[in-house]
């Protein structure tokens, strides 16, 4: 290692530590706002903000890792370094699991069905069973995700030195000095990637049913599970594009990313914009056509009654109409600053979509959409956790975006 390279690496390390410190300050601010909200006159608002952010950022992280798993499972090579960047979202998995456990303390505010007659649904909708099955599902999903990550890292690093300190040293002791059976590791990575895709669909559906749809226990949509994991994929692609764009703007060609990478991922983001829009519409049209009172009351409240009708139109415009019209243009997909703005707007739109689904049940249909200072700070706190997780992972594994040998050929 040359002296200039060592100085450059030390400078990047200091910059990463500074960035993590800033992100943790945001997290501390979000925590303080959340505690103040819980101790205030409307604790249900604070818990509502917490639940919405948990769902938003958990879906984004899980969907981000899914991109890499799909690329491995299908043998796709076009993703290049994008797949490695996607794997960095796995750093949020332990944080997400802890955040889920904290929801237990807000059960009285985030589960309106605790105070309702469930008409025979008590066997499914009870707190012990709900937290047990959801915690088990998340553990399985995250465990499979780490199994995939382990094999993927081994493919990228082989017997060479990997990034990181303690974990890196552990990988070095395990892999250094011996040649790996690349074909066998690739088969294992493909198996774990396919298994992650399967678990992702099941667990995201379960989370959607238990933490979103069940907020109104008398409304049922058999499409809601698929809608939930499609939404998570859409979010994950948006988060991946933002992260890759930031790396590209920071490091330029040294990031290993090209306009082709952004164009290809942008097309996939556009595709899931269409899929999400289709699922969003399909649920409404089936309920309208069936005209069953138990179903229509849920939709009427959220699409025809103030203030939620305005929120519903805003979600449709922000998450579907605007991205659709912009992403028709081929060139815009290859402009990282523009894609950062567009994807960030979609993420914010998905925040509003979660509020549209949850807040009428939790906040009891107030005169105005329940968004305040606490919501803003809790959102920034969760963003800080996600950004700190990504930055820490990429600091520990700076070569994570390395292209696997066969993929580079």
**What pLDDT, on a 0 to 100 scale, did the predictor assign at position 405?**
47
The number of distinct structural domains making up the chain is 1
Domain-embedded: residue 168: yes
* Domain assignment present for 170: yes
Residue 9 inside a domain? The answer is: no
User: What is the arithmetic mean of pLDDT over 329-351?
Assistant: 96
Residue 311 structure tokens: 């929120």
How far apart, in whole angstroms, are the C-alpha atoms of residue 93 and residue 253? 30
Q: How far apart are CA 167 and CA 174, in angstroms?
A: 11
Owning domain of residue 157: 16-408
pLDDT at 251: 85
Q: What share of the chain is helix, strand, coil (3-state, %, to 5)?
A: 80, 0, 20
Residue 336 lies in a domain: yes
**Each residue of 254-298: pLDDT tens digit?**
888 889 999 999 999 999 999 999 998 888 888 878 777 777 888
For the cut 70, the answer to whether the pLDDT of residue 138 exceeds it is yes
Who has greater pLDDT, 199 or 178? 199
Distance (Å, rounded) from C-alpha 138 to C-alpha 98?
11
Say which residue, 71 or 288, is predicted with more confidence: 71
Taking the C-alpha atoms of residue 261 and residue 74, their distance in angstroms, rounded to an integer, is 17
Domain assignment present for residue 5? The answer is: no
Asked whether residue 403 is assigned to any structural domain, the reply reads yes
> Helix (H, G, I), strand (E, B), or coil: what is residue 288?
helix
In a domain, 8, yes or no: no
Give a yes or no: residue 111 inside a domain: yes
């Amino acid at each position: 290692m040359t002296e200039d390279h060592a100085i450059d690496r030390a400078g990047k390390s200091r910059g990463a530590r500074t960035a993590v410190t800033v992100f943790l300050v945001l997290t501390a601010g979000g925590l303080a706002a959340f505690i103040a909200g819980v101790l205030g006159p409307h604790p249900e608002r604070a818990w509502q903000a917490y639940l919405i952010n948990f769902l938003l950022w958990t879906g984004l992280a899980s969907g981000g890792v899914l991109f890499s798993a799909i690329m491995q499972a299908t043998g796709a090579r076009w993703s290049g370094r994008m797949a490695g960047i996607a794997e960095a979202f796995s750093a949020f998995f332990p944080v997400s699991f802890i955040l889920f456990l904290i929801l237990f303390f807000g059960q009285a505010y985030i589960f309106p069905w605790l105070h309702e007659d469930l008409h025979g649904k008590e066997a499914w909708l009870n707190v012990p069973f709900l937290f047990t099955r959801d915690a088990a599902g998340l553990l399985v999903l995250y465990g499979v995700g780490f199994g995939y990550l382990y094999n993927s890292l081994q493919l990228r690093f082989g017997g060479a030195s990997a990034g990181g300190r303690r974990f890196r040293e552990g990988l070095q002791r395990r892999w250094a000095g011996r040649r790996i059976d690349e074909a066998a590791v690739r088969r294992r990575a493909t198996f774990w990637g396919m298994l992650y895709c399967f678990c992702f669909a099941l667990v995201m559906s379960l989370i959607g049913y238990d933490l979103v749809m069940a907020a109104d226990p008398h409304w049922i949509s058999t499409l809601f599970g698929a809608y939930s994991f499609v939404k998570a994929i859409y979010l994950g692609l948006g988060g991946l594009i933002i992260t890759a764009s930031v790396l590209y703007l920071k490091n330029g060609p040294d990031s290993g990313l090209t306009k082709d990478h952004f164009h290809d991922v942008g097309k996939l983001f556009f595709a899931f914009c269409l899929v999400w829009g289709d699922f969003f519409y399909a649920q409404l049209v089936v309920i309208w056509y069936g005209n069953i009172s138990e179903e229509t009351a849920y939709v009427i409240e959220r699409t025809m009654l103030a203030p939620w009708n305005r929120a519903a139109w805003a979600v449709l415009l922000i998450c579907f109409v605007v991205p659709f019209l912009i992403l028709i243009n081929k060139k815009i997909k290859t402009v990282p600053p523009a894609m950062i703005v567009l994807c960030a707007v979609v993420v914010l739109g998905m925040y509003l979509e979660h509020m549209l689904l949850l807040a009428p049940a939790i906040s009891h249909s107030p005169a105005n959409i329940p968004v305040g200072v606490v919501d803003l700070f809790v959102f920034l706190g969760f963003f800080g956790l996600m950004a700190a997780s990504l930055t820490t992972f990429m600091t520990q594994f700076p070569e994570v975006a390395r292209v696997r040998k066969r993929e580079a050929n």
